[in-house]
Amino acid sequence: MIIAIDGPAASGKGTLGRRLAAHFGLPHLDTGLLYRAVAHHLISAGEALDDVAAATAAARALDLQRLDDAALRGRAMGEAASIVAAMPSVREALVALQRAFAGQPGGAVLDGRDIGTVICPGADVKLFVTASAEERARRRWRELVARGEPADQTAILEDIRRRDRRDAERPTAPLAVASDAHQLDTTHLDADGAFAAALGIISSVMASRTKS
């Protein structure tokens, strides 16, 4: 079973993806980390974030086994990742990697921005997870504070809105709801509530397929 989860930054799709993967015993890939890893490589090497050639080379050399670096999860890296993710050549370089992950025996859970529309258009279940920009900013703020990092909620909200615009307006694989995706608004749901709602959707989809 392949479960594709898409949605904007801080919507809760990563947490949901990990929980669903654990529940169904499937491997999980936070595809946003791929773009963060590319951006991190550029920054570490002293390259400009808008250097398409350098970013593409980094994407082609990416190792899925090296995505656990804590530096990839900071707010600044998220903003940087949004810049390289808008590059068509970077996205093209990472498509095969993501599809190979999804094609593992038994399936997988992937979350990102274009999983249901581009990476796995034939996924068994597609979820589009969203929440208000204000709530997503609060979540990101709480996450950063919990890690002891400096955080300004107003600045975070501005970053999220900027990333939303960039993700939705990029010419290649923009953030969009797949026509057969099930939308899940988590604005008023905690992690347990979102998980329960997602399980309900998945059970319904799989039951309907069994009947047909």
Say yes or no to pLDDT of 114 above 90. yes
Please report the pLDDT score of residue 212 as a whole number.
62
Task: Name the amino acid, one letter, at 64.
Answer: L
For position 132, what pLDDT does the model report? 97
Q: What's the confidence (pLDDT) of residue 49?
A: 95
Tens digit of each residue's pLDDT (9 = 90 or more) over 120-176: 999 999 999 999 999 999 999 998 899 888 889 999 999 999 989 988 988 888 899
CA distance 134 to 141: 11
* pLDDT the model gives residue 76: 79
2-211 domain in CATH 3.30.470.10?
A: no
Q: Give the pLDDT mean for 42-68.
A: 93
Domain regions of the chain by residue span = 2-211
β-strand 2-6 against 108-112: which pairing, if any? parallel
User: Whole-number mean pLDDT of the chain?
Assistant: 93
Asked whether the predicted pLDDT for residue 117 surpasses 80, the reply is yes
Tokens of 64: 């899925």
